[in-house]
Amino acid sequence: MKKNPATRAIAIAGLGLAIEAGAMNTFDDATGHLTLHTVTVDGVIHSNVAARIDAYSVLDERAGMPGPTSFDPGSGVLRLGSVHYDGNTYTNVTVRVDDYALQHATERAPAPCRALAPPKNVVIEVSTAADLVAAVSEANSAGGNRTIALADGVYELSAPLLVSAPDITVRGASGDRDAVIIHGAGMTGGVMHVFLVRGSRFTVADLSLGGVANHGIQIQGEHEAHEPTVHNVRFADTGEQMLKVSYNRNDMSKGSNRGVVQCSLFEYTAGVGPQYYIGGIDAHNAADWIVRNNTFRAIRSPESRLAEHAIHFWSASRNTLVERNIIVDSDRGIGFGLGNRSHLGGTIRNNMVYTTRDVGIGLESSSGTRVVNNSVYTVNYPNAIEYRFSATENAFIANNLTRGAIARRDDATATLASNHTSATEADFEDPTNGNLRLATPIASVIDQALALPDVRDDIDGTPRPQGSAPDIGAHEWSGR
């Protein structure tokens, strides 16, 4: 085992890992991918977790019976009871990890959005649209592993940017997403996308994009574009869904896995979209994605037909984690599955959702999904949360604070516990602007939730509980 020179990940401070001793963990030195059979994150056990380790050194290897396995984030020392590497099994391996990222949807990140780490690969600096087009072409031709840093300014495209090589990053150099704008010819113009992505581990950060006829970003799962990261990006005014994860319905063996969308804004600046066939994130056959700490505004149709959800994972998507998002003034909020196009597993937690025409959170043919500690305010529609169709089974819906019913439809099955469905406008600080934090303590909400091992904080990162038990909803009352 040797040091991997690649540096592609973001260090996550304070993440505690304890790995089952003797389990079959595997490591691929070429990619830095570490697969953990069983991992405990903050006391919660998860299986088949994927991590990417980009800077490490092996400190020790000893034969014999596998010993205890642990990770010390202070020293960066990872002790593996056993690891399968390059066709061989090693026991009691000690590794110092300098740069790593947990890629499965089991990560518990801090609520504040932090800047990405500085690039460690080849950086190409650009300041014009022509420079940008040339830099993407150069990065593709070089086989990837490039960062394209954009100076503040406006970059007008005449065609989409095709990203075909792996490990390409496009980011604003200043870190101010409002100062770097990439756009096409408008929602009715001839530029379909800003980015069309076929390469894995694409990262886009610290910029604004939009003004295109179809999607701001299309991740092509049919080309197995895995592990994209969208960080601190403003999406605005696209003709269709803002972030699309596409697939080939005739080849379901291929999809996009382990994407992360965080700290970003999705909005229509006119307060309404151009047609009904729009949405925020629309993902098909996507596995193990994380969507967190984002805001969605005015994902609304101008027609009688509804817009798609602000966040929608369906068509055999699975194990999606959607947490700490704010959805404002949109037709529909968060959807797992649609009709018979399924979703499997996953968690929807600590979100604030304000919808104006339809359901806030909807499960359709979504089996084994957890909907916990959300605050949902729905107007012009009776149900805040729905679970539908017989393929929705073993769902768990608990600790949700809603204005609107939690409704079973079409033979779905779920366990419901400790939900409060009679919230009023006065209970929240500013519901029409998506602020569903409690305005005052409510006796039937405060300290009334079930203590759940996968809900240890609230939308703001406030630890739960603050009292004798956790609070119902996305906001844990702490005296404000």
Report residue 46 as tokens: 């998860």
Sole residue written with tokens 């305010």: 377
- Asked whether the beta carbons of 344 and 319 are under 8 A apart, the reply is yes
Q: Which residue did the predictor score with more confidence, 454 or 69?
A: 454
Report residue 258 as tokens: 């382990």
Query: CA-based angle 31:103:169, to the nearest 5?
Result: 65
Q: pLDDT for 195-252, tens place per residue?
A: 999 999 999 999 999 999 999 999 999 999 999 999 999 999 999 999 999 999 999 9
pLDDT tier at 472, thresholds 50, 70, 90: very high
| pLDDT, mean of residues 335-363 | 98
Q: What is the β-pairing status of strands 405-409 and 168-172?
A: unpaired
- pLDDT (0 to 100) of residue 72: 54
137: Cα separation from own chain's centroid: 28
Report residue 212 as tokens: 């295109």
| pLDDT, mean of residues 32-40 | 52
| pLDDT, mean of residues 278-290 | 97
- pLDDT (0 to 100) of residue 64: 54
Compute the CA torsion angle 179, 182, 187, 193 (nearest 10 deg): -150
Give percent above pLDDT 70 in the chain: 76
Taking alpha carbons only, the member of 49, 19, 45, 21 closest to residue 33 is 49
- Whole-number Cα distances in Å, 395 to 342, 358, 448: 13, 21, 21
Q: Which residue did the predictor score with more confidence, 286 or 100?
A: 286
CA atoms of 202 and 347, how far apart (whole Å): 24
CA atoms of 423 and 420, how far apart (whole Å): 7
DSSP H or E segment with residue 17: strand 17-19
- pLDDT (0 to 100) of residue 479: 74
pLDDT tier at 25, thresholds 50, 70, 90: low
Mean pLDDT (the chain, rounded): 85
Report residue 195 as tokens: 């980015």
pLDDT above 90: residue 92: no
- pLDDT (0 to 100) of residue 132: 98
User: Which residues lie closer than 8 Å to 480 by C-beta, 6 or more apart?
Assistant: none
pLDDT tier at 115, thresholds 50, 70, 90: confident
Q: pLDDT for 256-266, tens place per residue?
A: 999 999 999 99
pLDDT above 90: residue 111: no
- pLDDT (0 to 100) of residue 206: 97
Largest CA distance in the chain: 68
- pLDDT (0 to 100) of residue 97: 55
Give percent above pLDDT 90 in the chain: 75
Residue 132's SS3 state is: helix
| pLDDT, mean of residues 330-356 | 98
pTM, whole model, 2 decimals? 0.80
Q: pLDDT for 119-148, tens place per residue?
A: 989 999 999 999 999 999 999 999 999 999
- pLDDT (0 to 100) of residue 51: 57
Neighbours of 94 (CB within 10 A): 14
pLDDT above 60: residue 40: no
Question: 166-194: b or e for each residue (b if 16 or more CB lie within 10 Å)?
Answer: bbbbbbbbeeebebbbbbbeebeeebbbb
pLDDT above 70: residue 176: yes
Taking alpha carbons only, the member of 108, 172, 468 closest to residue 324 is 108
Q: Which residue did the predictor score with more confidence, 93 or 201?
A: 201
Residue 437's SS3 state is: strand
pLDDT above 60: residue 106: no
pLDDT above 70: residue 57: no
- pLDDT (0 to 100) of residue 45: 45
pLDDT above 90: residue 327: yes
